Amino acid sequence: MYLFFLKKYVIIPKQYLIKMINFILIIIILYVAIELIFAYLINILRSKIPWIIVEKDEYPNFNKNKIKNFFKKTFDAQLGWNWKANTKHQEKIFSKINKISFGKFGERKNVNSIKKKKYKFASFGDSFVFCRYVKNSETWQEQLSKPTLFQGLNLGVGNYGLDQAYLKYLNTKLPKNIKTIFIGFVPETLSRCLCNWKHYHEFNNIYAFKPKFINYKKNLKLIANPIKNNLSFTEIKKIINKTKVGEFFYKEKFLKYKLNYPYFFSLLKNPKYNFKLIFYSILRISNFNKNKIYEFIIKENCIKNDNYFNSKKNNEIIKKLMFKINKKSKERGQKIVFLIFPQKHDLNLKKKNYHKFFLNQKNFFNVIDFTETFKKKSSSEIYLPDQYGGHLTAYGNKIVAETILKRGYV
């Protein structure tokens, strides 16, 4: 028996038609099974891996207790977040606890050091200035102070961009005898300066709203921190909708890597990235290799960030901020020194666009870019593992202090 299709002369035997239908059904069943597996896997992984985002992450859940804790410990209406004066903090590394105290300026104190006669320098910037994951006596500021009769203020704050470092410097009343200011940051400061909400760049860093500057005519225009107080979270959806409109990383990164249903096709949008992310996530939660996913994420960020240095529009923000800082320092009778701390994966970049950019800035500012200095050392000696953000070891901080002393900036 034969069935007729479309035209009289096209005939398909019934047994072949049945086979065709069965084949299609098998494909559908397999697809549904694969989709269910991915849905289940993604749901499990995203509860433990912050870099896997889905539709729900457009408007994440803000926990009331976490909001309360955020405002109590680090919230700052102008800067986004900041260390509060006369408070304490602790961080864990290799199963050990570093206890940290903050002084009246919000500076990191070395509670074991002997008080010296007076302050000579202050340092502003990100976690490479704060010196995460080393003891209080192992920061580069403390190692810089040891050979001298002076001490310095460590005013670094984790995850700061150059924009936040500038605003903190602008609004911090320092002792009059401080005449040297160090402004330090990683090359990724460019990406940080393009953010109003870090969640779009560092997925699930949802409480990190911050101010930013945008190019406006021939100057910079400040876009204030969207979060003014704890009441801001009562209208957070409205704030998110307003923020995403002018946010560079909303389209550049968040939408690009957000996984949607059907997950199978969503994963295929960026197959190389997504399947590596899934694989390394499984390694992490299975405790097989916890460091690999951190290495993957940090390396990806470094590569992308270095590409952003190709944009004159982006570069102008950094350059104008440096001019603003330099101008303010001259008004205060202070000397500014910019410190560029490459991350481990920055050293392996082929083009190193950031290095070329800051090399050009030496024509206008005092700049120490540690790229060439760090390249001469073993990375395992100067950097901590990626799961600790690849921050500098005590030895890495010693190299920083020795380089600054050799350049005669203290």
Instruction: State residue 17's pLDDT score.
Output: 84
Instruction: State residue 5's pLDDT score.
Output: 47
Collect all residues with Cβ–Cβ distance below 8 Å to 309 and sequence separation of at least 6: 187, 190, 315, 353, 354, 356, 357
Where do runs of H (alpha helix) occur along 263-393?
A: 263-267, 271-285, 291-308, 312-331, 353-361, 371-375, 379-382
Instruction: State residue 150's pLDDT score.
Output: 78
CA 230 to chain centre: 24
Is residue 389 over pLDDT 60?
A: yes
pTM for the whole thing? 0.92
What is the total residue count of the chain?
Answer: 410
pLDDT digits (tens, 9 = 90+) for 97-124: 999 999 999 999 876 555 656 889 999 9
Instruction: Select the more confidently predicted residue: 121 or 151.
Output: 121
Instruction: State residue 379's pLDDT score.
Output: 94
Residues 192, 299: Cα–Cα separation, whole Å: 16
DSSP secondary structure, 218-253, as one string: TEEEEE--S--SGGGGGGHHHHHHHHHHT-HHIIII
pLDDT digits (tens, 9 = 90+) for 287-316: 888 889 999 999 999 999 999 999 999 999
Q: Give percent above pLDDT 90 in the chain.
A: 84
Mean pLDDT of 307-330: 97
> Kind of pairing, strands 88-93 and 118-125?
unpaired
Residues 16, 19: Cα–Cα separation, whole Å: 5
Q: What is the mean pLDDT of the chain?
A: 93
Nearest CA among 85, 86, 181, 92 for reference residue 141: 181
What's the CATH code, domain 58-406?
A: 3.40.50.1110
pLDDT band, residue 276 (cuts 50/70/90): very high
Instruction: State residue 115's pLDDT score.
Output: 61
DSSP secondary structure, 86-98, as one string: T-EEEEEETTEEE
Is residue 15 over pLDDT 50?
A: yes
For the chain, the straight-line distance linking the first and the last C-alpha, in angstroms and rounded, comes to: 97
Nearest CA among 329, 326, 298 for reference residue 179: 329
Residues 151, 118: Cα–Cα separation, whole Å: 6
Nearest CA among 326, 308, 320, 51 for reference residue 194: 308
**Which tokens is 33 given?**
């099974």
β-strand partners of 222: 213
Collect all residues with Cβ–Cβ distance below 8 Å to 262 and sequence separation of at least 6: 35
Instruction: State residue 152's pLDDT score.
Output: 92
Instruction: State residue 2's pLDDT score.
Output: 47
Nearest CA among 131, 164, 125, 172 for reference residue 338: 125
Is residue 130 over pLDDT 50?
A: yes
Is residue 1 over pLDDT 50?
A: no
pLDDT digits (tens, 9 = 90+) for 165-218: 999 999 999 999 999 999 999 999 999 999 999 999 999 999 999 999 999 988
Contact call for residues 189 and 162 (beta carbons, < 8 A): yes
Is residue 398 over pLDDT 50?
A: yes
CB atoms within 10 A of CB 63: 12
Mean pLDDT of 88-92: 92
Instruction: State residue 3's pLDDT score.
Output: 46
pLDDT band, residue 59 (cuts 50/70/90): very high
pLDDT digits (tens, 9 = 90+) for 225-255: 999 999 999 999 999 999 999 899 999 999 9
Instruction: State residue 4's pLDDT score.
Output: 46
Instruction: State residue 113's pLDDT score.
Output: 57
Is residue 408 over pLDDT 80?
A: yes
Residues 275, 278: Cα–Cα separation, whole Å: 5
Is residue 321 over pLDDT 90?
A: yes
Mean pLDDT of 87-91: 93
Residues 346, 349: Cα–Cα separation, whole Å: 5
123-247-234 Cα angle (round to 5): 90
Phi, psi of 369 (to 5 degrees): -100, 115
